[in-house]
Amino acid sequence: MDILKKFSGTWNLIDMYVKKGTSFFYPLGQHPKGILIYNTDGYMSVEIIGENRPAKLSMDFAAGLPEEQLVITQYASYSGTFQICENMHIITHHVNFSAFPNWEKTELKRSYTFEKNRLTLTAIPIIRKNSSETDIFKLVWEKI
């Protein structure tokens, strides 16, 4: 099967974690919700909502209430184009827009593996300062 066709479609977030040495950290909780979309034109979009996101808000963002502030820390999204390097099993997301401004106009490289109808994306490992341990960020998606 053509690799672009394998990626193309809509994916539901199954798991998201950071492996820190021998332990696991769940930055958006153990049950975040998310959707990832790749199309055959080379565009992608992702949205992830943390499990601790408030159910309802006052919508008074100017007040800076803890609930409104929590929304920002419980949400991640970006969109742009993507490029696949099949022989290295790397997909690069070229970020055009992001809820996190520092990601705009950057490239996010992820290694990928497919297992049945699941796609695992792994960020480039981060080596901690003053330590030899690495942090490995993984997202597991299931095709809808």
Q: Which of 84, 1, 76, 85 lies closest to 38, judged by CA? A: 84
The pLDDT of residue 128 is: 74
Residues of 41-53 as b/e, b for ≥16 C-beta within 10 angstroms? eeebbbbbbbeeb
Tokens of 65: 């209430």
Residue 65 dihedral angles phi and psi, to the nearest 5°: -65, 155
Blockwise average pLDDT, block size 10, the chain, 144 residues:
95 96 90 98 97 67 57 84 98 97 96 98 84 88 98
pLDDT on residue 68: 54
Contact 91, 107 (CB under 8 A): no
Q: Determine the pLDDT at residue 65.
A: 57
Q: How many Cα atoms within 13 Å fall on the side-chain side of residue 23? A: 3
Segments making up each domain of the chain, as ranges:
3-143
What CATH number does domain 3-143 carry, 2.40.128.280, 3.40.605.10, 1.10.3720.10, 1.10.760.10? 2.40.128.280
Closest CA to 14 of 136, 137, 124, 138: 138
pLDDT on residue 56:
64
Instruction: State the pLDDT at residue 74.
Output: 80
- Residue 19 DSSP class: E
| Residue-level pLDDT at 130 | 77
Predicted local confidence at residue 67, as pLDDT: 55
pLDDT given for residue 90 in this prediction: 98
